[in-house]
Amino acid sequence: QVQLVESGGGLVQAGGSLSLSCAASGRTFSSYVIGWFRQAPGKEREFVAAIRWNTGTTYYAVSVKDRFTLSRDNAKSTVYLHMTTLKPEDTAVYYCAAGTPLTRYYSESLYPYWGQGTQVTVSS
């Protein structure tokens, strides 16, 4: 079993920055992908970014590329989502998830383990 705990959400002004953390526990994650998804009010959950634990390869949605950056700390089993130049449309509940997708890293159905989510609100 895998447990994921997100933290770091909050309220920030447009143009500001915020970093989210996803602490993982329960097993080794060398073969896992950690993905970040978000869900805005009234909208479906969407892919934000993902990182392969063993290689550090990252993937980003077009809407966040060049603004969001993923990093990981192996010793802490934690993945960080660094968000800059935030926009009001980035407002959502952000979830981290763990799975082993080989290709479709953007597909939430391939992630069996999910955190509880953390709210990010960007004011204009």
CA distance readout (Å), 61 to 11, 36, 40, 77, 107: 22, 10, 15, 23, 12
User: Which three-class secondary structure state does DSSP give residue 108?
Assistant: helix
Q: What is the largest CA-CA distance in the chain?
A: 41
When the pLDDT of each residue in the chain is averaged and rounded to a whole number, the result is: 95
Please give the Cα distance from 20 to 57 (Å, whole number): 18
Residue 91's pLDDT is 98
pLDDT of residue 27: 76
Residue 102 pLDDT: 83
What are 79-91's pLDDT values in tens digits? 999 999 999 999 9
pLDDT tens-place string over residues 25-52: 987 777 899 999 999 999 999 999 999 9
Residue 31's pLDDT is 84
pLDDT, tens only, 57-75: 999 999 999 999 999 998 9
Instruction: Report whether pLDDT(4) > 90.
Output: yes
pLDDT at 94 over 80: yes
